Amino acid sequence: MTEHLHIEGLGVEFNGFKAVNDLNLSVAQGELRCLIGPNGAGKTTTLDLICGKTRPMHGSIRYRGREIARLPEFQIARAGIGRKFQVPSVFRQLTVRENLEVAHCKHISVYTNILRSGRSAESDGLEKLAAFVDLSDYFEAPASVLSHGQTQWLEIALLLAQDSELILLDEPAAGMTHQETQKTADICNRLKGKHTIIVVEHDMGFVRQIAQVVSVMHQGTLLMEGTVEEISRDQRVREVYLGSTLGI
Ligand SMILES: Nc1ncnc2c1ncn2[C@@H]1O[C@H](COP(=O)(O)OP(=O)(O)O)[C@@H](O)[C@H]1O
Ligand SMILES: [Mg+2]
């Protein structure tokens, strides 16, 4: 299998505290990888390191054969890596369509913009993206009318509009109703194969619905990798979750 995302010896410290410590992680193209672990395990920091929000102190991150660790954030985004943050970054005053247009324009140069013959093909594409996250009925509605769940789905569509291949989702089902969580799982499942996805998630019910391989982090490093069944049976995993409400 061609190497796609390959993390080796990754580390960062905050005031001497090793938030991520000698982390090794490989994800294949089109794979959906779940990243779980108790609070403070370093999951969010790992996504921060991959997308360039935080600069690693040690190690390497190769994406499609290219070293991307320590590149500026915009270059990492341009390389095809998109990150959805826990706090939404949609423009609430703009419509769903306008939000998608803004995200789409971010990744194309002014030159391509000038050369483009018409906007209808692009508009078709954006409508398809809205349909993909079940927001067709809201295409011309301001983002401010969207529910919490719908806003999260719009965020995912924005990553697709900006042509991200590797999508990093940090707790995408947080604060969602049961029904919204189901729909988010469905969106993740439909992205599989076409995109490479890393999902950080607390909700094991959600993880069960989408997981292929699950990586478990503990104290900044990889504790184990396996299927949901394998990690649920593992004594070390059970121990790090002891006393937590995760219910592995
Ligand atoms: N910018 C920062 N400054 C200081 N400490 C941080 C910073 N970011 C994260 N940490 C610490 O690193 C550890 C890992 O955090 P995080 O990656 O958010 O964990 P998780 O997402 O797995 O819950 C935590 O102990 C957290 O307090
Ligand atoms: Mg986190």
* Sheet strand arrangement including 221-226: 81-84, 166-170, 196-200, 32-36, 213-218, 221-226
Helix H, strand E, coil C: the string for 162-180 is CCCCEEEEECCCCCCCHHH
Ligand 2 centroid, distance to 42 Cα (angstroms): 7
* Minimum CA distance residue for ligand 1 atom 10: 19
3-state secondary structure of 146: coil
Q: Report pLDDT digits (tens) over 127-150.
A: 999 999 999 999 999 999 999 999
Rounded to an integer, the average pLDDT of 204-214 is 94
pLDDT of residue 61: 98
pLDDT of residue 28: 97
Nearest CA-CA partner of 45 in 19, 68, 15: 19
Nearest ligand 1 atom to the CA of 217 is 22
CATH of domain 1-80+165-248: 3.40.50.300
Ligand 1 centroid, distance to 20 Cα (angstroms): 9
* Minimum CA distance residue for ligand 1 atom 16: 42
The helix, strand and coil proportions of the chain, stated in percent and rounded to the nearest 5, come to 40, 25, 35
* Minimum CA distance residue for ligand 1 atom 3: 14
pLDDT of residue 2: 62
Task: Round to whole Å and give the CA distance between 121 and 65.
Answer: 32
Q: Under 8 Å CB-to-CB from 57, ≥6 apart: which residues?
A: 11, 12, 13
Q: Which ligand is in closest contact with the Cα of 219?
A: 1
Cβ–ligand 1 distance for 215 under 6 Å, the answer no
pLDDT of residue 108: 57
Rounded to an integer, the average pLDDT of 181-200 is 97
Length, in residues, of the chain: 248
Rounded to an integer, the average pLDDT of 81-101 is 89
Task: Round to whole Å and give the CA distance between 139 and 233.
Answer: 45
Nearest ligand 1 atom to the CA of 45 is 17
Residue-range domain boundaries for the chain = 1-80+165-248, 88-159
Cβ–ligand 1 distance for 181 under 6 Å, the answer no
Nearest ligand 1 atom to the CA of 170 is 21
pLDDT of residue 203: 83
